[in-house]
Amino acid sequence: MGGTGISKSQVSRLCEEIDERVDAFL
């Protein structure tokens, strides 16, 4: 990654949200 203007904290938060949605899906 890098140079996209997205901070690591934002990426980690996004991953957490996706994980939660996947858990709700399964």
User: How far is the C-alpha of 19 from the C-alpha of 25, rounded, in Å?
Assistant: 10
0.75 cut: is pTM over it? no
Report the pLDDT value the prediction gives residue 21, as an integer from 0 to 100.
Answer: 92
Report the pLDDT value the prediction gives residue 16, as an integer from 0 to 100.
Answer: 94
Sequence-distant (≥ 6) Cβ neighbours of residue 11 within 8 angstroms: 1
Write out pLDDT tens, residues 2-26.
Answer: 556 778 888 889 999 999 999 988 8
Report the pLDDT value the prediction gives residue 26, as an integer from 0 to 100.
Answer: 80
Q: What is the DSSP letter of 5?
A: S
Residue ranges of alpha helices (H) inside 1-26 are: 8-25
